[in-house]
Structure 1
Amino acid sequence: MCRPSRFPIPPFVFWIILLSGAAVVGNPGQVGAQERTYLEMRAEVVELYDQEKFSEAAAVLEAALEIYPDHLMANCINLALMNVLMGTLDGSLAALEYGLDHGIWYGKYTFLDPIWTPMKEHSGWLAVEARIEEAKTAAARIVKPRLEVVLPEGYDPDRRYPLFLALHGGGENVDLFMPNWHSPTLASEFIVAFPQSTQLIAMDGYNWTEDIDLSLEEIGSAYRQVADRYSVDTDEILVGGFSSGGVASLEVVLKNALDVKGFVVLCPAMPEGFSADEARSAGGRGVRGTLLTTEMDGRLDQQREMADIMKGEGLPLVFHVTPDIGHWYPEDLAGLIDQAITRIRGGS
């Protein structure tokens, strides 16, 4: 969708809108004469935004706060954004406070884009920020590890199966990640484990890179749980994931936290402390890998450098760049995962 370059919706905000796309029926008494879905309301907001009619978009979003309570976070954030674009900063803070008053809070990275700077310079921002941190701290106290396991078609406990540890991206959870990380080979041949980090950075979003030592501990625990419950071929363990999950996967490999055969990572940052020595050691243990990324990923140069070091140190690696896409899942990811698995297992 083409958008005015003068007023770009920050990617994380538009991402929230997209992820809030389940159809929800509004109250016709509040939306005029006709019922409409949340998607229809959202489309109107996007159209008004494209036309730079921020005041009208704000009015639609303000009415939507009560009509679509299941999408309160997206509507509060985007109402705040429209007010920023109008220069009504009191309205921006009021939109965020409405959400806080109704039981939601905002993620660690929600307001990083420079478009939010005027709001964050407002005298009332510090009080809102303190409320967000208080809500996050309270929520973090009750977070528990989560593990979802998908067994291969026709699973037979008398057979041994390879295991793929699949790690979600930062700000995601396993429910969002699982539909994106799949392939025919995984479905037919692998036990696939989807652990969820306990490092809370949004209301239902978790990260692996807030505390890498804790992540390695949780990934190891997930592995042991799966190996204890299911028939796992411990000589054929693969690890991989998206973004922050890709970083955690690389940390598992480079720090030899688990005896893995290979890795498949998508759009990772370079792990902190990454070294040629670690890459050489992993290659010496027989590890093979695939580093997938995208043409418009902001870390492409860093990823290319990391791939060159790995290959230069004898770690067999395929580096693949998908064109015309940013930091997200390519449409052909399932095929790319299967190609990577074939290479890791010794195929061509």
Structure 2
Amino acid sequence: MDYRNYKLLDARIDARFEARDFQAALGLIDHGLEAFPERSVELEAYRLACHREQGHLERCLELMDEGLAAGRFYSIYWKSWDVIRSLPGYAELDRRNRGNRDRAQVESLPCFQVVTPPGHDASRPHPLAIVLHGDGNGCHLDTMVHEWSAGPYLRRGFVVCYMQSSRVECTGGFGWTRDYGRSRSEIHGMMRKVAEQCRIDERCVVLGGFSGGAMASVDLLFDGGLPLKGVIALCPASTGSEKPETLARAAAVGTRVVLLEGELSGQVEDQVALADLLREAGIAQAFLRNPGIGHAIPADMDARLEEALDFILHP
């Protein structure tokens, strides 16, 4: 089967995983390891998840042991990995995993990349778009630069800032949701640095992200510390910050929210519930389903962003 780029393969693996067709997903992973050896860390993490869902728990420990010996580490603190915690050898594996992760954490700092629109005039303020990666496997700044295009923002005159958390989650992956307070602090700090480089129109800040980045976006919306024109949240889950007083505050600011989720994802009902919560609080919202995929960034993300920005900027 021919895939022109890793993004298409990744979406197909995700769709097979969501459909619980793990053998098909493993076949695609094998293909990916041959075609995209530079993405081996992400693909091997997919392999682990497939074996876990099939109940091949001893095989998971074997594969993790090999990875840990090579200096890798894994997001095994997630609830989905509870199934391995009682196995013989898990405690030692967890100790080694924490050691590898802690060593990586020591040198990890938040970072960002700014993209300015054509003909950028540094003398006048520009609207700002902030883009946040997801949590875990393959989640970092470079992924978002390639998969969440700046184009739709740049065509509207936005300065675009891709941000990366300092919090390491696994080898090559970072995250926002294990400590929302820390994430808010890092995002505010990076925004201040962006404002030193570019004049920002603080009346028009649009925050968006995928998965854990979508959840961090929702958390910032309800925190109220950053006035937002709009939020674009792709595949979020509940953050626990959706309370009557925070909903009322977001409604008073007038922030407009676009929620997106793949129609094959098991979280679609969660997004519908969140959309209903926003609507009942008087927050303008739109819920867009991405056809044919699960918990993933769609191949037509540019079109999705155009639709989202039209909703946010042209009420």
Alignment partners' CA distance in 2, 1:157 and 1:344: 25
Q: How does 1:183-262 map to 2 (within 5 A)?
A: 184-188=151-155, 189-262=157-230
AA paired with 2:91?
Answer: L
Give the secondary structure class of the aligned counterpart of 2:22: coil
Judged with a 3 Å threshold, the aligned counterparts in structure 2 of structure 1 residues 155 and 271 are, in CA distance, closer, same or farther, namely same
Q: CA deviation at 1:79?
A: 8.6
Q: CA deviation at 1:121?
A: 4.9
Structure with the larger RCO, 1 or 2 (CA within 8 Å, 6+ apart): 2
Where do 5+ consecutive residues of structure 1 fail to align? 22-37, 43-67
C-alpha contact (below 8 Å) 1:76/1:96 kept by paired residues = no
Identity percentage of aligned residues: 27
Corresponding residue to 1:149 among 99, 114, 126: 114
Corresponding residue to 2:239 among 271, 291, 294: 271
* Residue 312 (str. 1) matches residue 307 (str. 2): no
Instruction: Count the aligned residue pairs.
Output: 298
Q: CA deviation at 1:80?
A: 11
Alignment partners' CA distance in 2, 1:113 and 1:83: 8
Residue in 1 that maps onto 2:8 = none
Give the secondary structure class of the aligned counterpart of 1:297: coil
Query: Deviations 1:166-217 (Å, cap 9, x if unpaired)?
Result: 1111111011122111253313321111111112110111111100111111
Corresponding residue to 2:92 among 112, 127, 139: 127
Judged with a 3 Å threshold, the aligned counterparts in structure 2 of structure 1 residues 71 and 274 are, in CA distance, closer, same or farther, namely same
C-alpha contact (below 8 Å) 1:80/1:93 kept by paired residues = no
- Please, what TM-score do these two structures have when normalized by structure 1? 0.74
Alignment partners' CA distance in 2, 1:8 and 1:151: 42
Moved more, 142-151 or 125-134: 125-134
Where do 5+ consecutive residues of structure 2 fail to align? 1-11
Residue in 1 that maps onto 2:71 = 103
Residue in 1 that maps onto 2:40 = 71
Q: CA deviation at 1:279?
A: 2.0
C-alpha contact (below 8 Å) 1:170/1:205 kept by paired residues = yes
Judged with a 3 Å threshold, the aligned counterparts in structure 2 of structure 1 residues 134 and 166 are, in CA distance, closer, same or farther, namely same
Q: CA deviation at 1:6?
A: 8.6
Query: Deviations 1:299-323 (Å, cap 9, x if unpaired)?
Result: 2212111111211221111111223
Give the secondary structure class of the aligned counterpart of 1:240: strand
Judged with a 3 Å threshold, the aligned counterparts in structure 2 of structure 1 residues 96 and 243 are, in CA distance, closer, same or farther, namely closer
Q: CA deviation at 1:219?
A: 0.8
Give the secondary structure class of the aligned counterpart of 1:315: coil
Judged with a 3 Å threshold, the aligned counterparts in structure 2 of structure 1 residues 10 and 266 are, in CA distance, closer, same or farther, namely farther
Alignment partners' CA distance in 2, 1:251 and 1:206: 17
Alignment partners' CA distance in 1, 2:41 and 2:132: 28
C-alpha contact (below 8 Å) 1:183/1:338 kept by paired residues = no
Q: CA deviation at 1:272?
A: 0.8
Residue in 2 that maps onto 1:180 = 147
Alignment partners' CA distance in 2, 1:343 and 1:69: 38
Across the aligned residues of Structure 1 and Structure 2, the Cα RMSD in angstroms comes to 3.5
Q: CA deviation at 1:108?
A: 3.0
Residue in 1 that maps onto 2:312 = 344
AA paired with 2:120?
Answer: Y
C-alpha contact (below 8 Å) 2:235/2:295 kept by paired residues = yes
Rg (Cα) greater in structure: 1
C-alpha contact (below 8 Å) 2:22/2:50 kept by paired residues = no
C-alpha contact (below 8 Å) 1:80/1:96 kept by paired residues = no
Judged with a 3 Å threshold, the aligned counterparts in structure 2 of structure 1 residues 87 and 293 are, in CA distance, closer, same or farther, namely closer
Q: How does 1:43-82 map to 2 (within 5 A)?
A: 71=40, 74=43, 78=47
- Please, what TM-score do these two structures have when normalized by structure 2? 0.81
Alignment partners' CA distance in 2, 1:170 and 1:81: 18
Give the secondary structure class of the aligned counterpart of 1:176: helix
Alignment partners' CA distance in 2, 1:212 and 1:293: 22
Q: CA deviation at 1:297?
A: 2.1
AA paired with 1:144?
Answer: L
Alignment partners' CA distance in 2, 1:220 and 1:83: 37
C-alpha contact (below 8 Å) 1:294/1:325 kept by paired residues = yes
AA paired with 2:134?
Answer: G
Alignment partners' CA distance in 2, 1:218 and 1:10: 40
Alignment partners' CA distance in 1, 2:239 and 2:55: 40
